[in-house]
Amino acid sequence: MEDLFALRPELQNSPVDRLIRGRASAFESAALNFRFAVTPYYLSLASLETIGPIWKQILPDEKEAADPLFQQPDPLAEESHMPVPGLTHRYPDRVLWYLSHNCAVYCRFCMRKRKVSREDSAPNVEARKAALDYIRSHTEIQEAILSGGDPLSQSDAVLASCIQELKEIPHLVSVRIHTRMPVTCPQRITDSFCQMIQELSPVTLVTHFNHPVELSDTALEALGRLRKTGNLILNQSVLLAGVNDNAETQRSLNLALLKAGVKPYYLHQCDEVKGVSHFRVNLETGVNIQKELRGRIPGPAMPLYVIDLPGGGGKVPVDSSYFVDGDYPDPVFENFQGDLFFPLGDQP
């Protein structure tokens, strides 16, 4: 905790000083399973007046160690759909390839808290080779998604090698990179990185802005550099209680993204990961936010509200066509294969 005050001395004796120090036990209990880390840049965006959207995403909470609702460390069953280490093959036509389990900032709502920030879980060179061999041998795979952790915590050389290997696989039609670096460490979006992905174009880049305050001048400059590569840039957000769970915040965020040349892609229902239920927004609230936005912002600024079904069902839109039983307290969803899934309802 003291590192926070060393990184940003003006926190001392500010209105948030006492509130941060009041979480000392949360830092201790959370550290047993999930590290705390923040970049000086991202910390600079945090308010000195109140525990606002940046603080809520980075500060440990007592509820992480004693979650009354979410109990599964891997609710999306990524491990059970892992044919080789570091590669999840859940949908028939795509794979999720984890290049790193490190991030610039460890977000408290992380869907992979079970392994992100743990050095012993990071894929090695042999695992990367096995993943590439698997992709080459499965011609039904059309897309490879580079994820983590954050794949941009790897060097440009490693990223270029992985992307080049993927580009040489004839049945792949898409390579996607999911990264939060433009949000948490935009300085990582260097000219050399941009030159590399421009040379390997087309590559789809998916960022992860959750709140308008994250779209600082520095972040916008990084997005501008990415746009000049000619690659498609999308954004996915997570609907988080106390952070962005109202229509006005969503409106401001998505309009600012569109203005920056980034397409709002997904608005995710918070995954049912152990230790994060205090971030949970009920489904009815999420649906109503979408209703308030529709027709009031340009169509390209509207993200698709989705839920990643627990048990490995995959993502489906939160709309009537996927509700088998649309009763919000006890929803039943049907996935792309027609299987039924039962997310935790809107219990208190």
Active-site residue (options: 74, 150, 245, 271): 271
Contact indicator for 24, 36 with CB cutoff of 8 Å: no
CB 56, CB 243: distance < 8 Å: yes
Q: Confirm whether 103 is a catalytic residue.
A: yes
Annotation marks residue 90 as catalytic: yes
CA dist 286 to 291, 293, 305, 319, 330, Å? Answer: 9, 11, 8, 11, 15
315 flagged as catalytic:
yes
Q: Catalytic residue, from 41, 56, 63, 107: name it.
A: 107
Distances (CA, A) of 186 to 106, 190, 246, 288, 330: 15, 8, 26, 33, 41
Q: For residue 202, is the peptide bond before it cis, meaning its omega torsion is within 30 degrees of 0? A: yes
Active site residue 227: no
Please report where in the chains the tokens 């939060």 appear, as a residue.
180
Query: What is the C-alpha separation between 347 and 281, in angstroms, rounded?
Result: 11
Measured distance CA(135)–CA(51) in Å, rounded: 44
Annotation says 67 is catalytic: no
176 among known catalytic residues: no
The answer to whether 280 is a known catalytic residue is: no
Catalytic residue among 56, 112, 113, 180: 112
Among candidate residues 41, 56, 63, 103, the one labeled active-site is 103
Q: How far is CA 154 from the centre of its chain?
A: 17
Catalytic residue, from 23, 67, 91, 346: name it: 91
SS3 of 203, please?
Answer: coil
Alpha-carbon distance of 307 to 289, in angstroms, equals: 15
Complete DSSP assignment for 211-267: SGGG--HHHHHHHHHHHTTT--EEEEEEE-TTTT-SHHHHHHHHHHHHHTT-EEEEE
Encoded amino acid at 75, one letter: P
From the list 110, 162, 185, 270, the catalytic residue is 110
Catalytic option among 41, 63, 74, 90: 90
Q: Which helix (H) or strand (E) holds 19?
A: helix 17-21
Q: Is 91 known to be catalytic?
A: yes
Candidates 94, 113, 128, 274; catalytic one? 94
Catalytic residue numbers, as ranges:
90-91, 94, 103, 107, 110, 112, 271, 308, 315
